[in-house]
Amino acid sequence: MAEILFYVLSAVALLGALGVILARSPMGSVLSLLGSFFALAVIYLLAGFQFLAAAQILVYAGAVLVLFLFVIMLLNLGQLGTRFQLSLAPLAGPRARLAVTVAVALGLVGLIVAQGAAFGAPPPVGDAGLDPLPELALGLFGRYSLPFQAISLLLLATMVAVVVLAKRQRKEDGR
Protein backbone atom coordinates (compact mmCIF):
# COMPACT_ATOMS: atom_id res chain seq x y z
CA MET A 1 0.00 0.00 0.00
CA ALA A 2 2.83 2.41 0.86
CA GLU A 3 4.45 1.71 -2.50
CA ILE A 4 1.24 2.54 -4.38
CA LEU A 5 0.84 5.73 -2.34
CA PHE A 6 4.45 6.64 -3.14
CA TYR A 7 3.86 6.30 -6.88
CA VAL A 8 0.60 8.26 -6.72
CA LEU A 9 2.25 11.07 -4.76
CA SER A 10 5.22 11.05 -7.13
CA ALA A 11 2.84 11.49 -10.04
CA VAL A 12 1.09 14.34 -8.19
CA ALA A 13 4.45 16.02 -7.51
CA LEU A 14 5.47 15.68 -11.16
CA LEU A 15 2.11 16.98 -12.37
CA GLY A 16 2.44 19.93 -10.00
CA ALA A 17 5.92 20.66 -11.33
CA LEU A 18 4.61 20.44 -14.88
CA GLY A 19 1.78 22.80 -13.92
CA VAL A 20 4.37 25.33 -12.69
CA ILE A 21 5.97 25.35 -16.12
CA LEU A 22 2.82 25.25 -18.22
CA ALA A 23 0.52 27.62 -16.29
CA ARG A 24 -0.23 30.87 -18.07
CA SER A 25 -0.70 32.93 -14.93
CA PRO A 26 1.86 33.30 -12.14
CA MET A 27 -0.84 32.56 -9.56
CA GLY A 28 -1.54 29.24 -11.26
CA SER A 29 2.16 28.44 -11.15
CA VAL A 30 2.32 29.17 -7.42
CA LEU A 31 -0.71 26.99 -6.72
CA SER A 32 0.78 24.14 -8.75
CA LEU A 33 4.04 24.52 -6.81
CA LEU A 34 2.09 24.34 -3.55
CA GLY A 35 0.55 21.02 -4.60
CA SER A 36 3.96 19.68 -5.54
CA PHE A 37 5.45 20.74 -2.19
CA PHE A 38 2.69 19.02 -0.23
CA ALA A 39 3.08 15.81 -2.24
CA LEU A 40 6.82 15.84 -1.50
CA ALA A 41 6.14 16.37 2.21
CA VAL A 42 3.91 13.30 2.31
CA ILE A 43 6.59 11.31 0.46
CA TYR A 44 9.03 12.34 3.20
CA LEU A 45 6.56 11.10 5.80
CA LEU A 46 6.25 7.77 3.98
CA ALA A 47 10.03 7.43 4.04
CA GLY A 48 10.10 8.08 7.79
CA PHE A 49 11.63 11.56 7.69
CA GLN A 50 9.27 13.51 9.93
CA PHE A 51 11.62 16.44 10.41
CA LEU A 52 12.15 16.90 6.66
CA ALA A 53 8.40 16.70 6.07
CA ALA A 54 7.78 19.41 8.67
CA ALA A 55 10.60 21.53 7.23
CA GLN A 56 9.15 21.06 3.74
CA ILE A 57 5.78 22.38 4.89
CA LEU A 58 7.11 25.21 7.05
CA VAL A 59 9.97 26.44 4.89
CA TYR A 60 8.90 25.74 1.34
CA ALA A 61 5.11 25.61 1.40
CA GLY A 62 5.02 28.37 4.02
CA ALA A 63 7.84 30.86 3.68
CA VAL A 64 8.96 30.43 0.07
CA LEU A 65 5.45 30.43 -1.38
CA VAL A 66 4.53 33.48 0.70
CA LEU A 67 7.62 35.15 -0.78
CA PHE A 68 6.51 34.18 -4.29
CA LEU A 69 3.01 35.53 -3.66
CA PHE A 70 4.53 38.74 -2.30
CA VAL A 71 6.62 39.13 -5.46
CA ILE A 72 3.61 38.47 -7.68
CA MET A 73 1.57 41.08 -5.84
CA LEU A 74 4.48 43.53 -5.76
CA LEU A 75 5.00 43.27 -9.51
CA ASN A 76 1.24 43.34 -10.08
CA LEU A 77 1.23 40.01 -11.94
CA GLY A 78 -1.64 38.46 -10.02
CA GLN A 79 -4.51 38.97 -12.45
CA LEU A 80 -6.22 35.62 -12.68
CA GLY A 81 -8.14 34.89 -15.81
CA THR A 82 -11.58 33.39 -15.80
CA ARG A 83 -10.05 29.95 -15.30
CA PHE A 84 -6.77 28.15 -14.87
CA GLN A 85 -5.17 27.70 -18.32
CA LEU A 86 -2.14 25.74 -19.43
CA SER A 87 0.13 26.62 -22.32
CA LEU A 88 2.36 24.18 -24.15
CA ALA A 89 4.39 27.01 -25.70
CA PRO A 90 7.37 26.61 -23.30
CA LEU A 91 7.78 23.00 -24.46
CA ALA A 92 7.56 23.72 -28.20
CA GLY A 93 11.04 25.05 -29.03
CA PRO A 94 14.12 23.08 -30.04
CA ARG A 95 15.89 23.96 -26.78
CA ALA A 96 13.01 22.52 -24.79
CA ARG A 97 13.13 19.30 -26.81
CA LEU A 98 16.88 19.07 -26.20
CA ALA A 99 16.36 19.67 -22.46
CA VAL A 100 13.69 16.96 -22.28
CA THR A 101 15.92 14.53 -24.20
CA VAL A 102 18.87 15.20 -21.89
CA ALA A 103 16.65 14.86 -18.79
CA VAL A 104 15.25 11.52 -19.99
CA ALA A 105 18.74 10.26 -20.83
CA LEU A 106 20.06 11.26 -17.41
CA GLY A 107 17.08 9.61 -15.76
CA LEU A 108 17.69 6.37 -17.66
CA VAL A 109 21.38 6.43 -16.77
CA GLY A 110 20.44 7.00 -13.13
CA LEU A 111 18.05 4.04 -13.21
CA ILE A 112 20.65 1.79 -14.78
CA VAL A 113 23.28 2.81 -12.22
CA ALA A 114 20.80 2.37 -9.34
CA GLN A 115 19.87 -1.12 -10.54
CA GLY A 116 23.51 -2.20 -10.54
CA ALA A 117 24.46 -0.56 -7.24
CA ALA A 118 24.59 -2.57 -4.06
CA PHE A 119 22.97 -0.66 -1.24
CA GLY A 120 23.76 -1.58 2.33
CA ALA A 121 21.32 -1.72 5.19
CA PRO A 122 19.59 1.59 5.90
CA PRO A 123 21.01 3.60 8.79
CA PRO A 124 19.34 3.09 12.14
CA VAL A 125 16.47 5.42 12.90
CA GLY A 126 16.79 7.69 15.95
CA ASP A 127 14.82 7.40 19.18
CA ALA A 128 11.08 6.81 18.90
CA GLY A 129 11.17 6.76 15.09
CA LEU A 130 12.20 10.40 14.77
CA ASP A 131 14.93 11.82 12.58
CA PRO A 132 18.40 11.97 14.12
CA LEU A 133 18.43 15.76 14.59
CA PRO A 134 21.94 16.05 16.06
CA GLU A 135 23.38 14.33 12.98
CA LEU A 136 21.33 16.59 10.68
CA ALA A 137 22.55 19.68 12.56
CA LEU A 138 26.18 18.54 12.41
CA GLY A 139 25.88 17.96 8.69
CA LEU A 140 24.09 21.24 7.98
CA PHE A 141 26.26 23.48 10.12
CA GLY A 142 29.48 21.47 9.79
CA ARG A 143 30.25 19.85 6.47
CA TYR A 144 27.62 21.75 4.46
CA SER A 145 28.02 25.13 6.18
CA LEU A 146 29.41 26.89 3.10
CA PRO A 147 26.62 25.76 0.72
CA PHE A 148 24.04 26.66 3.39
CA GLN A 149 25.45 30.19 3.65
CA ALA A 150 25.76 30.51 -0.13
CA ILE A 151 22.08 29.65 -0.56
CA SER A 152 21.09 32.18 2.08
CA LEU A 153 23.12 34.89 0.28
CA LEU A 154 21.51 33.90 -3.03
CA LEU A 155 18.03 34.23 -1.52
CA LEU A 156 18.94 37.61 -0.03
CA ALA A 157 20.25 38.85 -3.40
CA THR A 158 17.06 37.64 -5.06
CA MET A 159 14.89 39.53 -2.59
CA VAL A 160 16.92 42.73 -3.10
CA ALA A 161 16.67 42.35 -6.89
CA VAL A 162 12.90 41.93 -6.71
CA VAL A 163 12.51 45.09 -4.65
CA VAL A 164 14.77 47.05 -7.05
CA LEU A 165 12.79 45.80 -10.07
CA ALA A 166 9.49 46.66 -8.42
CA LYS A 167 10.64 50.19 -7.55
CA ARG A 168 11.95 50.75 -11.07
CA GLN A 169 8.67 49.59 -12.58
CA ARG A 170 6.68 51.95 -10.32
CA LYS A 171 8.87 54.90 -11.36
CA GLU A 172 8.26 54.07 -15.02
CA ASP A 173 4.51 53.90 -14.41
CA GLY A 174 4.60 57.37 -12.85
CA ARG A 175 3.55 56.32 -9.34
Find all residues with CB under 8 Å of 97, minimum gap 6, and list them. Answer: 91
Give the Cα-Cα-Cα angle 54, 55, 61 (nearest 5 degrees): 95
Nearest to 16 by CA among 63, 60, 77, 66: 60
The per-residue pLDDT string of the chain (175 residues; one tens digit each, 9 = 90 and over) reads 788 899 999 999 999 998 888 887 888 888 888 899 999 999 988 888 888 888 888 888 888 887 777 777 777 655 555 455 556 666 677 877 888 888 888 878 877 876 776 655 555 555 555 667 788 778 777 887 888 788 888 878 877 877 777 776 555 555 5
pTM (predicted TM-score): 0.54
In the chain, domain spans:
1-90, 137-175
CB neighbours of residue 77 within 10 Å: 12
The CATH architecture one would assign to domain 1-90 is: Up-down Bundle (1.20)
